[in-house]
A and B are shown apart, each in its own frame.
Chain A
């Protein structure tokens, strides 16, 4: 059974640009959550999608957005990138609310 797949693994972007990250969940999983990991703030929840609907949202500015497709694949978009957006972005999928979350290997975003 394939795990959670995140693409790309590494990204370098310039301040002011926008970026789209992709996450393919484990087959059959309907919930996809996104987390930002930085040395200073640790792991912070961005948002969760379930059956194409955003079900929960963390405390991030509107520059951070996401969506989920009918096949449960999810994308996360960050517009007008700032240096502080440099982080490891982790995606996690689960079958439902009460089941374990399985994480992908993350996308390392560097903003220069």
Chain B
């Protein structure tokens, strides 16, 4: 079974600074996808970024980028120029290429200091 581990329950960052959220996963599959989702206080899960396992290039979406280390099964999220609106819970998630089921990590609460 696939597992996703987010070992840091909380992190804090100063506004305009950069923060990196860590995630590791375990799988024996070769075809899979990795995601970072943001859950603000409104509780709606918002997709931040997606990475296909077969792609060597790290995904980037504006201020958000990932460091995907396939051999190490590591998938960290870097948020540059942090903004107050980035404060939320962030979940790392895994999806097999064979189905739509998402396996989530426990999440990390990110706070942004003004």
Contacts and interface: CB of A to CB of B under 8 A. Distances in A.
B101 A42 contact: no
B44 A101 contact: no
A94 B107 contact: no
B47 A100 contact: yes
Interface in A63-84: none
Given A42-B107, A43-B104, A48 B47 contact: no
Given A105-B42, A105-B43, A58 B50 contact: no
A40 B45 CA distance: 18
Contact of A33 (B35, B44, B102, B106): B102
Interface residues of B, number: 22
Contact of A58 (B37, B45, B101): B101
Contact of A101 (B43, B100, B106): B100
Nearest to A45: B101
A94 B100 contact: yes
B44 A56 contact: no
A92 to B, nearest CB: 7
Contact of A105 (B44, B91, B97): B44
- Chain A's interface size range is 20 to 34
Nearest to A94: B100
A33 B102 CA distance: 9
Interface in B29-51: 33, 35, 37, 42-47, 50
29 contacts: A31-B100, A33-B100, A35-B102, A42-B106, A42-B107, A43-B91, A43-B104, A45-B101, A45-B103, A48-B99, A48-B101, A56-B99, A56-B100, A58-B101, A92-B45, A92-B102, A94-B100, A97-B99, A97-B100, A98-B97, A100-B35, A100-B47, A100-B50, A103-B37, A103-B44, A103-B45, A103-B46, A105-B43, A105-B44
